Amino acid sequence: MKIAFFDAKSYDKPSFEKYGGEKGITFKYFETKLTEDTAELTQGFDGVCVFVNDTVNAAVIDHLADHGIKLIALRCAGFNNVDLRRAQEKGIRVVRVPAYSPYAVAEHAIAMLLTSIRRIHKAYIRTKDFNFSLNGLTGFDLHGKTVGVIGTGKIGRVFIDICRGFGMKVIAYDKYPAEGAGITYVTPDRLFAESDVISLHCPLTDETYHMINAETIAMMKKGVALINTSRGALIDAEALLEGIKSRKIGAACLDVYEEESDFFFEDYSGHIVEDDTLARLISMPNVIVTSHQAFLTEEALDNIAETTVHNVAEILTLGTCANEIVSVG
């Protein structure tokens, strides 16, 4: 089977070459993202392998179907960028990687939180200039604070375990609570009102789109720290900016951004960034932005490649796959 691999980076290739070679699956790597324009590159392939910022809407799927593509292999857990209904209509199977390393994402969320509230990023820059003043670096303890976790899947539960290790009180909201997990579930309104730290670990759906907005931010404690390692559109970025400017939000740790597909994973250091909202967020002293980096560990990259190749091989040999989200026939 020949797979067109889009949005390829140097760190993707070793693991995919290793596992693909074992299963007789050939990957052709394209640095460009999959879009309606680049879908022409899929001619002569059996399937495509895509990531979070590739566009797999109805128009793209129509192109894929015209070129005989039978499989869309997501090398990520989320699938909000795929028009599943159109894939079903066109007879294209869709598989994903439901879990690769919940520890990678949960640990990154904590790393950003600690960096922010203990001003580690600012101290690092200062000491590079031999400035050892402590003025303006006062943080606060996590011990005894209340953390509200939205989404208690594998990543959310690992994050909760870490927070408990810091001696934090944990409350959570999930539409589908994890039975027997020993987690205290509350309503979203109560979570917003009581939490000193709020961390998002839920998928992006019609229900969760802009769940952090002007109305919900108004419910929050003054000085709340907000973490998002899930999907950018969970947060209304303009409302977030207003919350920061009004001092309602004390810290924002963002590994994702609603319009990230135009910027993340690329080097724009020599360019003028035309997204005013992103530029304003990055300029805020209490905002940390990383470019969808939370998944990026050696263990996670290996697991992503192994599972993706396994998914493709199962479809090829068995005609079905446990990680299939669109099946046909």
pLDDT tens digit sequence for 123-150: 999 999 999 999 999 999 999 999 999 9
What predicted TM-score, i.e. pTM, was given to this entire model? 0.90
Q: What is the pLDDT of residue 79?
A: 92
Quickly state the pLDDT bin for 99 (edges 50, 70, 90): confident
Q: What is the pLDDT of residue 329?
A: 64
Q: What is the pLDDT of residue 212?
A: 98
Across the chain, mean pLDDT equals 95
pLDDT for 191-200, tens place per residue?
A: 999 999 999 9
For range 306-319, the mean pLDDT: 94
Q: What is the pLDDT of residue 127?
A: 97
Q: Are strands 324-326 and 93-95 parallel, antiparallel or unpaired?
A: antiparallel
Q: What is the pLDDT of residue 126?
A: 96
**At residue 202, does pLDDT exceed 80?**
yes
Token pair recorded at residue 141 = 């303890």
Identify the burial level of 188 via C-beta atoms within 10 angstroms of its C-beta, where 0-12 means exposed, 13-18 middle and 19 or more buried: middle
For range 69-87, the mean pLDDT: 94
Neighbouring C-beta atoms of residue 126, cutoff 10 Å: 17
**At residue 328, does pLDDT exceed 80?**
no
Is the Cβ–Cβ distance between 265 and 9 less than 8 Å? yes
Q: State the Cα–Cα distance between residues 53 and 121, nearest whole angstrom.
A: 28
CA-based nearest residue to 16, from 71, 75, 70, 56: 75
Q: State the Cα–Cα distance between residues 119 and 110, nearest whole angstrom.
A: 14
**At residue 19, does pLDDT exceed 90?**
yes
Neighbouring C-beta atoms of residue 325, cutoff 10 Å: 17
For range 96-103, the mean pLDDT: 91
Q: What is the pLDDT of residue 38?
A: 97
CA-based nearest residue to 98, from 70, 81, 74, 82: 74
Please report the DSSP string for 120-149 in residue order. Answer: HHHHHHHHHTT----TT------TT-EEEE
**At residue 70, does pLDDT exceed 80?**
yes
Is the Cβ–Cβ distance between 234 and 202 less than 8 Å? yes
Q: What is the pLDDT of residue 262?
A: 83
Q: What is the pLDDT of residue 63?
A: 97
Amino acid letter, 92: I
Rg (CA), the chain: 21
Is the Cβ–Cβ distance between 325 and 99 less than 8 Å? no
For range 259-267, the mean pLDDT: 87
The more confidently predicted of residues 76 and 328 is 76
Write out the catalytic residue numbers: 231, 260, 292
Q: What is the pLDDT of residue 78?
A: 87
Q: What is the pLDDT of residue 243?
A: 98
Q: Which domains does the chain have, with CATH numbers?
A: 2-100+297-326 (3.40.50.720), 102-289 (3.40.50.720)
Helix residue spans in 5-153 (DSSP H)? 13-23, 58-66, 84-89, 102-117, 120-128
For range 209-236, the mean pLDDT: 97
pLDDT for 267-304, tens place per residue?
A: 899 888 889 999 999 999 999 999 999 999 999 999 99
For range 50-77, the mean pLDDT: 96
Is the Cβ–Cβ distance between 77 and 100 less than 8 Å? yes
Is the Cβ–Cβ distance between 146 and 195 less than 8 Å? yes
Q: What percent of the chain lies above the pLDDT cut of 70?
A: 100
